[in-house]
Structure 1
Amino acid sequence: MAKSILDLAKECDNFPYFEDSPEHYTSLLSSYYTFKVNGCDAALGYIPQSVVEKFVWAESDWNVDPNSRTVTLMAAPDATPETRNEIMSRLLADAVRRDTFEVLKGWRHEMYPIYGPGGQYLLQMERSASPLFGIATYGVHMTGYVQDDQGLKLWVARRSKTKQTYPGMLDNTAAGGMSTGEHPYACAVREAAEEASVPNDVFAERASPVGVLTYFYVRDARAGGETGLLQPEIEYIYDIRLDATHAIKPCDSEVEDFRLWTVDEVKQSLKGGEWKPNCSMVIIDFLIRHGMITAESEPDYLEIVARMHRRLPFPTASFKAR
Structure 2
Amino acid sequence: MAKSNLDLVRDFPYYEDNNVVYSENLKNYYAFRVSGYDVTLGYILNSVVEKFPWPKDIWSIDSAAQTITLVAAADADPAHRSELMAQSIAEAVKAGCFEVLKGWRNEKYPVYGPGGEFLLEMERCATPLFGIVSYGAHMTGYVEDSTGLKFWVPRRAKTKQTYPSMLDNTVAGGMCTGEIPFECIVREAMEEASLPEDIVRASVKSVGCVTYVHVRDSRAGGEIDLIQPEVEYVYDLKLDPSVVPKPCDDEVEEFKLLTVSEVKEALARGEFKPNCSIIMLDFFIRHGILTPENEPDYLDIVARLHRRMPHPTVTHC
Do they fold alike, i.e. is TM over 0.5? yes
Matched, 1:309 2:288: no
Aligned runs of 1:254-265 on 2, under 5 Å? 254-265=251-262
The alpha-carbon deviation at position 78 of structure 1 amounts to 2.4
- Equivalent position amino acid for 1:167 in 2: P
1-structure distance, mates of 2:75, 2:296: 51
- The equivalent residue for 1:268 is 265
2-structure distance, mates of 1:78, 1:210: 40
Describe the superposition over 1:289-315 as per-residue Cα deviations: whole angstroms up to 9, x where unpaired: 111000111110000011110001100
2-structure distance, mates of 1:78, 1:262: 56
Which of 177, 182, 186 in structure 1 is aligned with 2:183?
186
The alpha-carbon deviation at position 148 of structure 1 amounts to 2.0
- Equivalent position amino acid for 1:69 in 2: Q
- The equivalent residue for 1:159 is 156
Which SS does the other structure have where 1:41 is aligned? coil
2-structure distance, mates of 1:150, 1:298: 23
- Equivalent position amino acid for 1:205 in 2: A
Which of 11, 17, 23 in structure 2 is aligned with 1:26?
23
Describe the superposition over 1:181-209 as per-residue Cα deviations: whole angstroms up to 9, x where unpaired: 10101111100110011111000111000
- The equivalent residue for 1:2 is 2
Aligned runs of 1:115-194 on 2, under 5 Å? 115-194=112-191
- The equivalent residue for 1:299 is 296
1-structure distance, mates of 2:191, 2:2: 33
Matched, 1:94 2:126: no
CA contact (8 A) 1:32 1:48 kept: yes
2-structure distance, mates of 1:150, 1:227: 42
- Equivalent position amino acid for 1:177 in 2: G
Which stretches of structure 1, 4 residues or longer, exceed 2 Å deviation after superposition? Answer: none
The alpha-carbon deviation at position 3 of structure 1 amounts to 1.2
2-structure distance, mates of 1:65, 1:58: 14
- Equivalent position amino acid for 1:2 in 2: A
Describe the superposition over 1:138-175 as per-residue Cα deviations: whole angstroms up to 9, x where unpaired: 00001000012232111001111111111111000010
1-structure distance, mates of 2:202, 2:278: 25
Which of 101, 105, 112 in structure 2 is aligned with 1:104?
101
The alpha-carbon deviation at position 223 of structure 1 amounts to 0.1
Aligned runs of 1:232-243 on 2, under 5 Å? 232-243=229-240
- Equivalent position amino acid for 1:193 in 2: M
- Equivalent position amino acid for 1:8 in 2: L
Which SS does the other structure have where 2:40 is aligned? strand
The alpha-carbon deviation at position 49 of structure 1 amounts to 1.0
Matched, 1:318 2:305: no
Which SS does the other structure have where 1:43 is aligned? coil
1-structure distance, mates of 2:142, 2:266: 16
1-structure distance, mates of 2:143, 2:46: 47
Question: Any gaps of 5 or more consecutive residues in structure 2?
Answer: none
Which SS does the other structure have where 1:91 is aligned? helix
Which SS does the other structure have where 2:132 is aligned? coil
Matched, 1:38 2:8: no
Matched, 1:84 2:81: yes
The aligned length equals: 317
CA contact (8 A) 1:40 1:77 kept: no
2-structure distance, mates of 1:148, 1:129: 44
Matched, 1:245 2:268: no
Which of 280, 288, 291 in structure 2 is aligned with 1:283?
280
- The equivalent residue for 1:54 is 51
CA contact (8 A) 1:170 1:276 kept: yes
1-structure distance, mates of 2:181, 2:305: 18
TM-score normalised over the length of structure 1: 0.97
Q: Percent identity?
A: 59
TM-align CA RMSD? 0.8
- Equivalent position amino acid for 1:303 in 2: D
